[in-house]
Amino acid sequence: MKKAQIEPGIFWPGLVSVIFITTILITFPDAESRVASLLAAITHSLDWLFLGSVFTMFILLLWLAVFPIHFVTVPMIVKSIIKKMDLKSARYVFAVVTREGTPCSTAFAKIEKILKKKGKNLDANLILNMASNDPKFKDWHPATDEEIAEFESVIQDRLNWFQNIVANKVRYRENDTHITHPVNPVFELLGSILVEFSGDGGKALYADEKCYGCGVCERVCLSQKIRMFNNKPVWQETVKCFSCDACLNFCPSQAVQMRSGRFIKFCTNTNGRYSHPYATINDIAGQK
């Protein structure tokens, strides 16, 4: 039986708040009536602010619900790798990012923040637009061979050009001018913050009755959160999911499902699941 665990960021502030309020109420007997009067006054005077705030948060959360888990920020797996990298001897740091077309300035800001803690700066960056891997859009379709060839041609030309930038250690910061899916700057900022507290995406995953125990989900799980027990996948609570969705996309029987409606964007009944044109199960498993 697993030992019960607590979430320090939630438990301790909550405990301190309860102790503080209890102490005030015990020390000052009339505090309860005063607090009640204060709350009544606030509710009466600022009811418009309360309703407006609730409505605003509702719209924000509804809007966030249709965006990928990584939104416009750095995927958890990338941040984890950068934090573990030993950059003491590095004299030049560059980053190449891929995206469908949403802004990525926030992502670079996150990378810069991590690097500064290591005493480094991002010297150069390159942004590459890729084919969409998000089936939630009504007109989405897997990239055709012709589309892939066109993407590859453009990407290869840009990589060849960027190779000279890196080889000569030129400081180059590319302006994000090839945005095909604009995002309101306010939502971009708030979304990137909320993603940090979005929790473990793996908690929404499970395998239904179609699972026959092939073990593919365990093989492609980069965070090694999934382990097979009695020919059934188990998402371990003690390991944090990278939200890469490989288990969802590579499951041959499509047995891996998501409980939460918030994550339904990654697969739809109409468009199905994202099919990786080139990456195989062995390719993904080899990244471990």
Which pair of tokens denotes residue 282? 């062995």
Backbone angles phi, psi at 267, to 5 degrees: -155, 140
Q: Is the Cβ–Cβ distance between 62 and 191 less than 8 Å? A: no
Number of structural domains found in the chain: 2
**15 found inside a domain:** no
- Report how far apart, in Å, the C-alpha atoms of 2 and of each of 53, 55, 238 are: 40, 40, 10
Predicted local distance difference test score (pLDDT) of residue 142:
74
Domain of residue 253, CATH code: 3.30.70.20
Q: Do 145 and 230 fall into the same domain?
A: no
- Closest C-alpha to 92, from 175, 159, 166, 174: 166
pLDDT tens digit sequence for 129-178? 877 766 666 677 777 888 888 888 988 998 899 999 999 999 998 887 77
Kind and range of the H or E element at 257? strand 256-258
Range of the domain at 174: 76-196
Predicted local distance difference test score (pLDDT) of residue 220:
92
Residues in a beta bridge with 94: 124
Q: Is the Cβ–Cβ distance between 128 and 175 less than 8 Å? A: no
pTM: 0.57
Highest mean pLDDT among 8-17, 131-140, 164-173, 211-220: 211-220
Predicted local distance difference test score (pLDDT) of residue 9:
58
Highest mean pLDDT among 57-71, 179-193, 201-215, 259-273: 201-215
Asked which of 180, 196, 212 is the last residue of a domain, the reply is: 196
pLDDT tens digit sequence for 227-238? 999 999 999 988
Predicted local distance difference test score (pLDDT) of residue 64:
42
